[in-house]
Structure formats: structure tokens, C-alpha cells
Structure 1
């Protein structure tokens, strides 16, 4: 066996030591070069990002609107149910006091008035 076959994977070279820092603050991370233009992006890229963000915002707004509409629908259903229950109870109390046919007549009259007023 030759020497190059005995050790097929050479060990990674140890990281280069920078030595002692000149100012004596070894606990700080070494500073990188100041490049003021490194964060700038081209106009096309910024425009593309704006379009994507607008699409995301529109989708979020649509989802929120759907959720709110569903919530309002549930609230309205509960309100309608309560109103129907109250009206039913009111007619039952009237029926206990008055004759049945008279109550039905009043009911029909009130429905007509509701249709005219709304």
C-alpha cells in the first residue's frame, strides 16, 4: 500500500489564526470591510418585490374579508333566530289571552304592515 491510499480523506486545514488584535479587544468579532452599496438592490428587483407584496396583501385582505363576512352572517343568523323566538313567545301570550282566530288575523295584518314598511 502506498501513502496516498492509506489516508484517502485528508483532514481539514485548521482555520487561520488572526493573532492578537491591535486594540486589545479580542472578545469583539473582527470587523468586515465597509461596503455602503452592498445592501442596494436594482430597481427591477424592488419593483418585483413590491408587486409580490401587493399580491400577498390583497390575498390577506380577501381572506380577512371572507372571515368577517362569515362572522357577520353567523351574528345575523343568531339575531334572526332570537327575533323569531321573541315573536313566537309574544303570539303565544296573546293566544293565551285572546281567541285563536283573532290572533291569526292580527298576525296576518302585522305581516302585511311589515311588508309595506320595509
Structure 2
């Protein structure tokens, strides 16, 4: 039967009793303000990585917005075509079919010239 004391228990014995009497608290380490500082190379690498991530996020957001704008534009074009079709149908009720066709062609030419 050998009495083997583990490392953490041995360390506590060497430290002795705490002055404030709160032995149940873990022992504190010395305050070292420079211990958390990183080297310049590490900081530059970290900044480059975050910049790359932000650039990728921005690119993805722009792609998503472009897709959304495309869908909105398609809906607007569809509505405009439907309105124009309804307008021509109303005109066809009042006037002759051939005259409506002529007006369509004329408006199409004017659209191409104006745009």
C-alpha cells in the first residue's frame, strides 16, 4: 500500500491556507496584462480573413438582391403586357380589327424609336 498523492493535491498542500479563508475557490493566477497580446503577423492574418469573409458575404447579398430584382422586373413586365393586351381588346370592341392592328404596329415603332 503506497500512499500516492496526485499532482493537484500536492500543489494545494504547498500553497497553504488562503488568507481570506475561502479555500473552496480555485487559486488565482498572477495578473499579466501582456499575456493576451498577439503578434503583428497574427493580427494581419486575422484581418485578412475577416475582410475576405465580409467580401464573400457582400457578394452573396448582391447576388440575392439581383435575383430578387430580376423576379420583380419579370412581374412588372408581365403586368404591363397584360394591361396592354386588355387595352387593345377594349379598342377592338369599339373599332375595326384591322385598324387596331395598324395602331399596334404604329405604337410598336414609336416605342422602338423612343427607347
TM-score of the superposed pair, with normalisation by structure 2: 0.82
Residue correspondence of structure 1 range 55-70 to structure 2 within 5 A: 55-70=52-67
User: Which sections of structure 2, spanning at least 5 residues, go unmatched?
Assistant: none
| Aligned residue-pair number | 109
* CA offset digits 1:3-28 (Å, max 9, x no partner): 9xxxxxxx993842847532245575
Return the offset for 1:117: 1.0
Residue in structure 2 matched with residue 105 of structure 1 by the alignment: 102
Residue in structure 2 matched with residue 34 of structure 1 by the alignment: 31
Q: CA-atom RMSD, angstroms?
A: 2.4
Name the CA shift for 1:91/1:13 in 2 (closer, same or farther; >3 Å).
same
User: Which sections of structure 1, spanning at least 5 residues, go unmatched?
Assistant: 4-10
Residue in structure 2 matched with residue 50 of structure 1 by the alignment: 47
Of Structure 1 and Structure 2, which has the larger fraction of its residues in helix? 2
Name the CA shift for 1:49/1:110 in 2 (closer, same or farther; >3 Å).
same
Return the offset for 1:30: 3.6
TM-score of the superposed pair, with normalisation by structure 1: 0.80
